[in-house]
Amino acid sequence: MKSIGRILNCILFAACILLLVLSAPAKITGRADTIPSSRRVIFVGDSRTVGMYMSVNGGAVDRVFRTDDDGDLWVARTGAGIDWLRFVGVPGMEPKIDANTDIVFFTGINDEGYSDFASQYATYLNKKAAVWAGLGARTYFISVMPVRRNYAGISNDLIRQHNEELIENFSQDITYIDLATPFEGHLLFADDVHYLPDTYSTAYEYIKLLLAADAAQHEGLQEEHCVLQCE
């Protein structure tokens, strides 16, 4: 198994954010721009990403390809999975990538029922992330988040197993962000799979803060593989 490196300087910062999440799980006080970052974010994903987009930007949509008021691009569709990523999502956003881009994948729940879930995602994204790293962009993958109860053959035990397999199989060009652990016990569900706006908004602020912290710490940091997580 590949050894897992860590962004050590970000762990203390992430722990502080965890305290905010635990003390007020519906909302993080303060804005994600507390730590300045001029990098543009491309959010890519499925209905959970659509839900996050709506909680942050308003509206009611089932798919989105739009740049928001902060300059971040959202590329997501309800029901999206690995095939959509390959043939629609990634080809659509790839021309927008440059050295100032953070690509954040918040997806996977629709493919959790497949035994080769982790290998499919790792094989495809490792190849793409290597190309984007050559441009100076950074690629992040958010842990697949829990369901409220077993859904269409998908259990939280299976999700945890697949998340562990992703960590093991992702290359050094992909930073895995563990969102599941700090939010455990604090997810507000709208149904068995999706969350209420407060949860999406809190997750968004958490992600943006970690990206900003990573950007601030990135220079001179050499890790075999990075996992952003709280302890």
* pLDDT, tens only, 116-167: 999 999 999 999 999 999 999 999 999 999 999 998 889 999 999 999 999 9
Residue found under tokens 């629709």: 110
Does the pLDDT at position 207 exceed 70?
yes
At 215, which CATH number? 3.40.50.1110
Give this prediction's pTM.
Answer: 0.84
Regarding beta strands 73-77 and 63-67, do their DSSP bridges make them parallel or antiparallel, or are they unpaired? antiparallel
The CA dihedral of 46, 197, 163, 160, to the nearest 10 degrees, is: -130
Residue 2 in any domain: the answer is no
Q: Is residue 131 part of a domain?
A: yes
* Euclidean distance between CA atoms 175 and 71, whole angstroms: 22
> Helix (H, G, I), strand (E, B), or coil: what is residue 20?
helix
Residue 142 lies in a domain: yes
Q: Which domain holds residue 54?
A: 8-24+32-228
Percent of the chain with pLDDT over 90: 72
Which residues does 167 contact at the CB level (< 8 Å), separation at least 6? Answer: 4, 176, 227
* Backbone φ/ψ region at 220: left (φ over 0), alpha (ψ -120 to 50), beta: left
Number of domains in the chain: 1
The helix (run of H) or strand (run of E) holding residue 54 is helix 47-57
Q: Is residue 77 part of a domain?
A: yes
- Residue 18: pLDDT band with limits 50, 70, 90: low
C-alpha to C-alpha distance for 43 and 39, rounded to whole angstroms: 13
Residue 176 lies in a domain: yes
> Is residue 19 one of the residues assigned to a domain?
yes
In a domain, 20, yes or no: yes
pLDDT band at 6 (very low <50, low <70, confident <90, very high): very low
Residue of higher predicted confidence among 1 and 31:
31
3-state secondary structure of 219: coil
Assign residue 79 a region: left if phi > 0, alpha if psi is -120 to 50, beta otherwise? left
8, exposed or middle or buried, with CB in 10 Å at 0-12, 13-18, 19+?
Answer: exposed
Domain assignment present for 177: yes
